[in-house]
Structure 1
């Protein structure tokens, strides 16, 4: 009896142990099934979204070229709480993007301006490189550049009203061969040569009054008219050298062979803007004055090559390129992009300001000029 009881005693814990193991295995199997079912459900949703987006891209590719370059897909998350993580693909006309759509696009793509802008530019470059398009670049060279100026000496150099009147009168007499002005030749830049490579950032360092601003003005073709001469050599009296000597070329072309202001931009130290206009209005006005340039031609060639190769572009990059290549738009996406990248979106509705009106700060003014 004792052996039988001992056997029964061992049998009961063995049954309870096997029952607990089976229950735990069932719970694990249930949890694993739930996990896999959730993963498969999300994977199924992503596949459905990708298929839906592919169908919309295929429909866009069938449009005429004029309509295809103005139609893109905007991705946004559902506002409903039940489908907050679900992406909604919407076909839009890039010329009719409202303020809310543009702001949501900027907030989603450029959350951290410094990091996300670099990622976006890499996507932009990869799309162009994928179809074999080479963006135009500019190489600036200056050889044996010498810049000189005639300066008044003594009390005539003071910026007073009598000195201005006297200097004008002496300059008029100088045209008749009568030299009364006391001037001295000042060499600002002497026999400088260099190359500014494309797709790089060049840092120009130097002490005060070393000619940094003069060099930048000369390279941008914005030197003062008193420092410009049409030909190298001597002037009519043969005793006064030319003020500017040397050679400046853009991709091998001299400055008189094209308009350098359409290729380069010099940002002045003086911020000259309309004080009554807001920051956003200033950038919109500048964008409309400059136009879209060659962006529309680039987009046309890019769309043609992608259609021939059967490539569907990324929605965010395609929407940005098409929205920034449209002319006649009152408020462009490029303005919202510039405001976010330069950190000006916090003051976009503030007036620029002037001596009589309080506006944005000095650092913000400089960033507006850069933008």
Structure 2
């Protein structure tokens, strides 16, 4: 007879008024409840206890990192990994994954650790990139850091060029030699070749708002590239520029615009002997880390004062991408990972 049939029989006897059967029924109910707790509730409690142990272990690791000097603290983070161990308490599963928290030097990550970390943080680059940016924004907002924003304005911008006429404008070796000679004579005030004035941009005004993407549309030779070069402060000195370009109210001659903005040409020149990864790493080292290290220092200081433990994955990525002198950056790994997914 099944367990449910026994329980139904006990319930029928209880309705007939048999006290002995009533006590047996209550005893069976307690036994059933205790067995269900062992195989269901007990499992959940063990899971909760293991999760609490993992959180306590991570908190102890962060507390140990906070006691390090600032130089070492900004280079040390926690890497989480899963290790499969035998689980004897639950017969249904032979193995159980346990979280292991390991202190790592972000400058000395080996290939296996880098690959595991990237696979965990950016499983789907198109989706996880947005999640990472939101977590990054939440972390800096939590301690009250406001990232600087730049507003670019250009008022009544006019750009003109003096061009040669006819075959004199062709890029040939004789013309190049004549250009050199005429430039020398031009210093003496002697003009020999005939030129005409070409207006590339005429009385252009606009505002590029911060935290927005601006799209510039126009037909070929309409001045799109010239406008971008002018905003980046990389115009040819032979061009005549009228008007005003400001970054947050500062003119281009009042600071170094190349440290704030950059113009990326359509034609990139690479070394043929270098692989794609080596090219990215070389470019990253040439660009440097910018203000990421200063931001990380201020962020770590405020989190330490407020007693806030950061998320391990976000902290590791931010620290690894803010270190100078690293031969291979995690930004390169992320870029290659996203390219392979396209």
Do they superpose with TM above 0.5? yes
Alignment of 1:111-126 (within 5 A): 111-126=123-138
Which residue does the alignment assign to 2:161?
A: 149
Write the deviation string for residues 103-145 of structure 1: whole angstroms up to 9, x where unpaired. Answer: 1111111011111000001101111010001111211111110
Residue correspondence of structure 1 range 36-185 to structure 2 within 5 A? 36-78=41-83, 83=95, 85-185=97-197
Change in Cα spacing, 1:38 to 1:84, as seen in structure 2 (3 Å) is closer
- How far apart are the structure 2 equivalents of 1:199 and 1:74? 32
- Report how far residue 201 of structure 1 moved: 0.7
The whole-number CA distance in structure 2 between the counterparts of 1:206 and 1:61 is 54
| Alpha-carbon separation, structure 2, partners of 1:187 and 1:344 | 44
- Equivalent residues in 2 for 1:137-286, closer than 5 Å: 137-227=149-239, 243-286=240-283
Moved more, 118-127 or 61-70: 61-70
Residue segments in structure 1 that go unaligned for 5+ positions in a row: 1-13, 228-242, 347-371
* TM-score (norm. length: structure 1): 0.77
Change (3 A) 1:175 1:301: closer
Q: TM-score, normalised by structure 2?
A: 0.84
Regions of 4+ moved over 4 Å? 14-17, 19-22, 24-33, 79-84, 166-178
What is the aligned counterpart of 2:329 among 320, 329, 332? 332
Note closer, same or farther for the CA distance 1:336–1:163 as it changes in structure 2 (3 Å cut): same
Alpha carbons of structure 1 residues 116 and 84: separation in structure 2 relative to 1, 3 Å: farther
SS of residue in 2 equivalent to 1:78: strand
- How far, CA to CA, are the matches of 1:318 and 1:204 in structure 2? 36
Shift, 1:80, TM fit: 5.4
SS at match of 1:226: coil
Report deviation, 1:173: 4.6
How far the C-alpha of 1:85 sits from its partner, in A, is 2.9
Q: Judge conservation of contact 1:247–1:254 (CA < 8 Å) in 2.
A: yes
In the other structure, the counterpart of 1:361 is: none
Q: Is the 8 A contact 2:84 2:97 kept in 1?
A: no
* Structure 2 counterpart SS, 1:184: strand
Contact 1:171–1:181 (Cα < 8 Å) also in 2: no
Q: Secondary structure at the match of 2:267?
A: coil
Mapped partners of 1:165, 1:308: distance in 2? 66
1:237-290, Cα deviation, whole Å (9 max, x unpaired): xxxxxx111111112221122221111111101111111111111121122222
Distance in 2 (CA, whole Å) between partners of 1:156 and 1:308 is 69
Q: SS where residue 194 of structure 1 aligns?
A: strand
Root mean square deviation of aligned Cα: 2.7
Structure 2's unaligned 5+ residue stretches are 13-24, 87-93
CA distance in 2, matches of 1:344, 1:250: 37
In structure 2, do the counterparts of structure 1 residues 212 and 16 end up closer, same or farther at CA, with 3 Å as the change threshold?
closer
Matched length: 316
Q: Distance in 2 between matches of 1:41 and 1:296?
A: 41
List per-residue Cα deviations over 1:66-94 (Å, max 9, x = no partner): 22111111111115585553221111111
SS at match of 1:151: strand
Instruction: Look up the SS of the partner of 2:80 in the other structure.
Output: strand
Is residue 147–residue 244 contact of structure 1 (8 Å, CA) maintained in 2?
Answer: yes
Alpha carbons 2:244, 2:251 under 8 Å: kept: yes
Q: Distance in 2 between matches of 1:268 and 1:111?
A: 31
SS at 1:223's partner residue? coil
